[in-house]
Amino acid sequence: MHDVRDDSAPLLTLSGVHTHIGEYHILQGVDLVVPRAGLTVLLGRNGAGKSTTLRTIMGLWQASRGRLVFDGADITAEKTPDISRRGIAFVPEDMGIFSGLTVQENLRLAAIGGRFDEARLDWIFGLFPALKRFWLRPGGTLSGGQKQMVAIARAIIEPRKLLLIDEPTKGLAPAIVDNLAQAFEDLKARDTTILLVEQNFHFVRALGDHVAVMDDGRIVHTGRMDALSADEALQARLLGLHAGAVH
Ligand SMILES: Nc1ncnc2c1ncn2[C@@H]1O[C@H](COP(=O)(O)OP(=O)(O)OP(=O)(O)O)[C@@H](O)[C@H]1O
Ligand SMILES: [Mg+2]
């Protein structure tokens, strides 16, 4: 099957994916299905392999075994720029902001032809008003939370099929976390599929449609978020959350 588009098929499928980093065997047969549309949350404790999974999807690590299929195409052996051109954007844990470039220049690099769609830019300013204030400030002078807003804005400055976002709420003030939740709802309404790595179960339980839980380089649970959200015993088993710990 090559480059066959099927709207009922998952947008992204990882089958038996292994990733080695140097001598370390990190992903040990990841089976992950990301349904088209909606938001899939990838949970799991520190070191489970969540960031490595996103980096492997993006081609930043090469899978040593297994297969990755995106939108009907086998991307297992593709290079990062080609994967990006297929419509996948990645917001890494370290955000990857160019510190010598202004906010405007950081975003312009991701805008096709270096030109902004004004309506889309207004929507982004509405979500993250601080960006307008810091428009001409060098990225390196921004706080962690402000950099996070730039990184997310850069990922959504053009329409994408799939957004991979690694722990975006880290360091953000509660009001900005609310804006972020609004941004994800808006993106879903615009047919963007989101794969979100997040440790903050409280933040994602209302936002997620699907959930996958990783441990030791493998997926140990997949299902609907509402089912996990309603099942405290399952939360305790999978996430180490105790009844009453989640509000
Ligand atoms: N560049 C690297 N070199 C060697 N080992 C690495 C490297 N990157 C990650 N690892 C190891 O791979 C495992 C998975 O790391 P990964 O960053 O994917 O975890 P994570 O689930 O994102 O964790 P966290 O919640 O702490 O961000 C860890 O044991 C980590 O030490
Ligand atoms: Mg990580």
- Where exactly are the structural domains of the chain? 98-158
For 85, the enclosing helix (H) or strand (E) is helix 80-85
24 lines ligand 1 (CB under 6 A): yes
26 lines ligand 1 (CB under 6 A): yes
19 lines ligand 1 (CB under 6 A): no
97 lines ligand 1 (CB under 6 A): no
Atom 16 of ligand 1 has which residue's CA nearest to it? 49
Distance 102 CA to ligand 1 centre (A): 30
List of the chain residues with pLDDT < 70: 1-7, 241-247
216 lines ligand 1 (CB under 6 A): no
Q: What is the pLDDT of residue 245?
A: 46
Give pLDDT tens digits for 39-50: 999 999 999 999
Q: Which two tokens stand for residue 77?
A: 């052996």
Q: What is the pLDDT of residue 63?
A: 97
Q: Which residues surround ligand 2, an ion (CB under 5 A)?
A: 50-51
51 lines ligand 1 (CB under 6 A): yes
Q: Indicate which ligand has the atom closest to the C-alpha of 218.
A: 1
Distance 53 CA to ligand 1 centre (A): 10
Q: What is the pLDDT of residue 221?
A: 95
Q: What is the pLDDT of residue 87?
A: 95
Q: What is the pLDDT of residue 30?
A: 98
Q: What is the pLDDT of residue 83?
A: 97
Nearest Cα neighbor of 76 from 24, 162, 17 is: 17
Give pLDDT tens digits for 64-121: 999 999 999 999 999 999 999 999 999 998 888 999 999 999 999 999 888 999 999 9
pTM value is 0.91
Question: Which residues pair with residue 148 across a beta bridge?
Answer: none
